[in-house]
Chains A and B, each alone.
Chain A
Amino acid sequence: QQQVKQSPQSLIVQKGGISIINCAYENTAFDYFPWYQQFPGKGPALLIAIRPDVSEKKEGRFTISFNKSAKQFSLHIMDSQPGDSATYFCAASIVPTSGSRLTFGEGTQLTVNP
């Protein structure tokens, strides 16, 4: 049972464009929503995260939008660059009682063309 659904599976954007990746979750107990970025040959690394008490969080060109009532959250990458080409995973967790175990989405392979 996939508790976090991610779309699209792959995404191609032009340099300077906006990349948008969407996730939906089922478990209303989730209260921590991170995005991880993975480059080929590397393990995933935390990119940005949000708690449900805010609807948006921005760090540089990366923004998380969070809609608690719809149980959805999304990653927006503004002014996408070829260096952003990577696989992106959304995830969700219940903190702190769960030991911070994460439930991941299926992943999105982003390609930014120069």
Chain B
Amino acid sequence: DVKVTQSSRYLVKRTGEKVFLECVQDMDHENMFWYRQDPGLGLRLIYFSYDVKMKEKGDIPEGYSVSREKKERFSLILESASTNQTSMYLCASIPVGTGASYEQYFGPGTRLTVT
């Protein structure tokens, strides 16, 4: 079974703090994604990575950065957390290549509250 794990289920941080959200997948998937989920807005893509040290902006990258130093690990960084970044953050991964399905595998999510 594919497993995508996220470092924390719940996180409470103060405005201005630097926040790290970690995601690890155990299936050697090439592509990894960070989304935020808000009621009525669905899942919105923040950043994705298609290889180690490679990243591309998604639809809402402002206020976020990412790091992918190893294939299995993709980190989301909030340089200076703000209250409007209070949300559920979801990590996903997907294999690529001939015969690969297009299914994204999601972690359980991290609910971040910024006070």
Contact = CB atoms under 8 A, between A and B. Distances in A.
Interface in A52-106: 89, 93, 95-96, 99-106
B92 to A, nearest CB: 8
B96 A100 contact: yes
Contacts of B42: 4, 6, 89, 104-107
A88 to B, nearest CB: 11
Interface residues of B, number: 26
Chain B interface SS verdict (over half): strand
Chain A interface SS verdict (over half): loop
A101 B45 contact: yes
B33 A49 contact: no
A43 B90 contact: yes
Given A9-B40, A44-B90, A96-B96, A102 B104 contact: yes
A46 B50 CA distance: 20
Interface in B77-108: 90, 92, 94, 96, 102-104, 106-108
A43 B108 contact: yes
Interface in B31-69: 31, 33, 35, 39-45, 48, 50, 56, 58
Contacts of A93: 102
B113 to A, nearest CB: 16
A6 B40 CA distance: 10
B106 A45 contact: yes
Given A46-B104, A96-B96, A101-B45, 8 more contacts: A4-B42, A41-B108, A41-B109, A43-B107, A89-B42, A93-B102, A104-B43, A106-B42
